[in-house]
Amino acid sequence: MIARMLRQPGDHQHELEFVCIEQLVPADHLVRKIAATIRFEFIRERVAHLYCADNGRPALDPVLLFKILFLGYLFGIRSERRLMAEIEVNLAYRWFLGLGLGDKVPDHSTLSQNRRRRFTGSSIYQDIFDEIVLQAMGHRLIDGRELFSDSTHLKANANKNQFRKEAVARATRGYLDELEADVNRDRAAHGKPPLPPASKEGDNDPSSSGGKETRVSTTDPESGYMRREGKPEGFFYLDHRTVDGKANLITDTHVTPGNVHDSVPYLDRLDRQRQRFGFQVEAVALDSGYFTAAICHGLEQRDIYAVIGYTRLPHRPGFFHKREYLYDEHYDCYLCPQNQVLSYRTTNRDGFRQYASDPKVCASCPVRARCTTSKSGVKEITRHVWQSAKEAIDARRLDPEGKRLYRRRQQTVERSFADGKELHGHRYARMRGLAKVAEQCLLSAACQNMKKMALLLTRKGGSCGGLSALVAGMITGLAIWSGWRRWLRIETANGFLAAA
């Protein structure tokens, strides 16, 4: 056994050292990779109109301001006070912000005041997110061919027991004009007169029959009361997110109250991506919440290959399934399990064709008890005017390509949400109000993109630490030489003073 002498550790923390912050930050640190990959100077140009050019006190550099916010989202620091405390002692954070060891860190109120006074109502958060997407496209990490969309809930900063009940207006859907035109076209094809134009006053009048009573938070009225099977109940916001299939980068994020259905904003957000980034979308994969006639019709119109999860229809035990009633497209009728005809009656304003059986035939049917309990003895079935689009998309679930595409959802958009919740504080709304939660989601998504871009590009092009280490060594050498010269001048001056 080799003898070891125990020594008392010395106190070296009060010794004067000449160091360079460039040398103290590890070459493979995430902030180094992000700084080498992402260009941030565009921020200064985008917010220039919000500052006075020739009056007032010098403002904090907006690039520095937003970099501070990025650090909070990159490393999951939810509190701005804690974020500033971390910057005080973290050398990597100081290096990323361009601050020296002795530079003063801005006060935490600078962030909140700029957000509340300067950036409220501006599009800077959306501009930052869009620019990061464009930079990713420049690196060929996004091609916009396969897109995967879903939504996740963020718990609102509101007590679910503090609410008032109010009648709210029914949400206006963007496809209603198109649906009305198709309904009247379908009615004309069946020899029915067109329906009178629908009154749109009820969409904005909560007291009309179109409105319904719901819970409104007294703390955060813009949040929505969410009540879904398998989900927590309370006041939430929904982050509707789209992820590109090439490198799993986020291409869109949109915030709604928690009581808005996933399908409501989908087509508008899809069109925004196609227009803003020029995507030539070929295929999309969605979960069962998007399986509506309007979504299917819209995707078929846009010539996009879509695969959507299976939705189990409600079924009463002891009765026939709806699939057992076969639709005959040529004769435009349904056949019941006893091969009796259900003929077309009318098309209602919601876009559903109504088919009904002959009560005389049903009166003597041996399986009538499994078909209907109607006193009139009539069996009714509805079929949407856009049902053919739903059937075409539903059939793709069984295709090999459809199965492959749908399986990728868990590797793309679901993984993106998981990373956001675990690593970037995306479980809770940090602030109150729809616009502020949208700010959080846009910055969080932008930072997730920055992180993934930095890791992919530095891995692809090699570590960026070699050149940095060389530069750091040169700077350190210059710093040491300058320090020695300064020390010699001070000692010489002290010697002359002592002699005098």
- Alpha-carbon separation of residue 411 from 148, 242, 311, 419 (angstroms): 10, 13, 21, 11
Write down the pLDDT at residue 169: 67
187 and 267 share a domain? yes
275 and 424 share a domain? yes
372 is a domain residue: no
118 and 160 share a domain? no
Token duo for residue 188: 């004309």
* pLDDT confidence bin for 472, thresholds 50/70/90: very low
Strand order of the β-sheet with 380-384 is 326-328, 333-335, 341-347, 352-356, 380-384
pLDDT tens-digit readout, 25-48: 999 999 999 999 999 999 999 999
Share of the chain above pLDDT 70, in %: 88
118 and 191 share a domain? no
255 is a domain residue: yes
Q: Is the pLDDT of residue 484 over 80?
A: no
Q: Which residues of 432-458 are buried (b: 16+ CB within 10 A; e: fewer)?
A: bbbebbbbbbbbbbbbbbbbbbbebbb
- Distance CA(211)–CA(202), nearest Å, equals 7
Q: Is the pLDDT of residue 488 over 50?
A: no
156 is a domain residue: yes
Write down the pLDDT at residue 199: 64
Please give the average per-residue pLDDT across 316-335, as a whole number: 92
Q: Is the pLDDT of residue 281 over 90?
A: yes
291 and 425 share a domain? yes
Query: Are the C-beta atoms of residues 341 and 333 closer than 8 Å to each other?
Result: yes
pLDDT tens-digit readout, 344-378: 999 999 999 999 999 989 988 999 989 988 888 89
pLDDT tens-digit readout, 416-433: 999 999 999 899 999 999
154 and 240 share a domain? yes
287 is a domain residue: yes
Write down the pLDDT at residue 1: 64
Higher pLDDT, 208 or 20: 20
16 is a domain residue: no
pLDDT tens-digit readout, 79-133: 999 999 999 999 999 999 999 888 899 999 988 899 888 998 899 999 999 999 9
376 is a domain residue: no
What mean pLDDT, rounded, does the chain reach? 87
- Distance CA(472)–CA(468), nearest Å, equals 6
74 and 214 share a domain? no
Number of separate domains in the chain: 2
pLDDT tens-digit readout, 225-279: 999 888 899 999 999 999 999 999 999 999 999 999 999 999 999 999 999 999 9
Share of the chain above pLDDT 90, in %: 67
42 and 148 share a domain? no
Q: Write the DSSP symbol of residue 164.
A: E
Write down the pLDDT at residue 222: 94
pLDDT tens-digit readout, 141-156: 999 999 999 999 999 9
471 is a domain residue: yes
Write down the pLDDT at residue 471: 42
This prediction's pTM: 0.85
Write down the pLDDT at residue 74: 95
pLDDT tens-digit readout, 196-228: 887 654 444 444 444 578 999 999 999 999 998
371 is a domain residue: no
Please give the average per-residue pLDDT across 457-471, as a whole number: 56
107 and 163 share a domain? no
Query: What CATH code is carried by the domain that includes residue 188?
Result: 3.30.420
Range of the structural domain that residue 57 is part of: 21-127+454-484
279 and 212 share a domain? yes
- Identify how many contiguous H helices and E strands the chain contains and give both numbers: 17, 13
Write down the pLDDT at residue 474: 46
Higher pLDDT, 310 or 341: 341
pLDDT tens-digit readout, 289-308: 999 999 999 999 999 999 99
157 and 263 share a domain? yes
* pLDDT confidence bin for 75, thresholds 50/70/90: very high
- The residue written with tokens 């904005």 in the block is 204
289 and 149 share a domain? yes
